[in-house]
Structure 1
Amino acid sequence: MRAVTIRNVPEEVHRAIRVRAAQNGRTLQAEMCDILATAVKPEGRVKLGDLLASIGRKVKLTDEEMAVFERDHSPARAASFE
């Protein structure tokens, strides 16, 4: 897991996160990870592939046509700027 340093956090924000962590039975670090994850990956978010597949089902695409929406879950290759 990557490490992130956040500088100049206002004291009242730091205190509020510490309180929230205690209320949730987590460490300060675990609470901050949860806050960040919730901010960037909310539960109700719509994933593009799922949305396209849903549309495909609604218009009754064939299995062959739906295969276009199957995703490759392999890691992305790093960009090369050479």
Structure 2
Amino acid sequence: MAAITIRQLPEEAKQRLRMRAAAHGRSMEAEARGILLAALESTGKADLNWVEQLVAVGYEVGGVDLPVPEDEPATAADLRS
């Protein structure tokens, strides 16, 4: 397995990680590893915006054919009071 070093982690984040690890009964390293793995598994398309995600889903299901109604001329506004 590979090892990484996280530099410049704010002290508050380190303290929160320490508290979270203690609450789960494991080391800070194990907690950080769990958080990282869960984040990577749950957000396969995290860098896409919602429109790109919607388009991707459309491609996955084979696309969607929507009816395009014909344009109708606008009615004139009645500006008489």
Query: What residue in structure 2 maps to residue 13 of structure 1?
Result: 13
Query: What are the superposed Cα offsets for residues 23-72 of structure 1, whole Å, 9 maximum, x if unpaired?
Result: 00010000000000011012x97xxxxxxxxx7xxxxxxxxxxxxxxxxx
5+ residue gaps, structure 2, are 45-60, 62-81
Q: Normalising to structure 1: TM-score of the pair? A: 0.51
Q: Give the greater-gyration-radius structure (CA).
A: 2
Number of residues paired by the alignment?
49
Query: What residue in structure 1 maps to residue 64 of structure 2?
Result: none
Q: After TM superposition, list the pairs within 5 Å mapping 1:4-43 onto structure 2.
A: 4-42=4-42
Q: Which has the higher helix share?
A: 1
How far apart, in 1, do the equivalents of 2:39 and 2:20 lie? 16
How far apart, in 1, do the equivalents of 2:18 and 2:4 lie? 17
Runs of 4+ in 1 over 2 A off after TM superposition: none
Q: Which has the higher contact order (CA 8 A, sep 6+)?
A: 1
Q: Which amino acid is the alignment partner of residue 35 of structure 1?
A: I
How far apart, in 2, do the equivalents of 1:11 and 1:18 lie? 10
How far apart, in 1, do the equivalents of 2:17 and 2:23 lie? 10
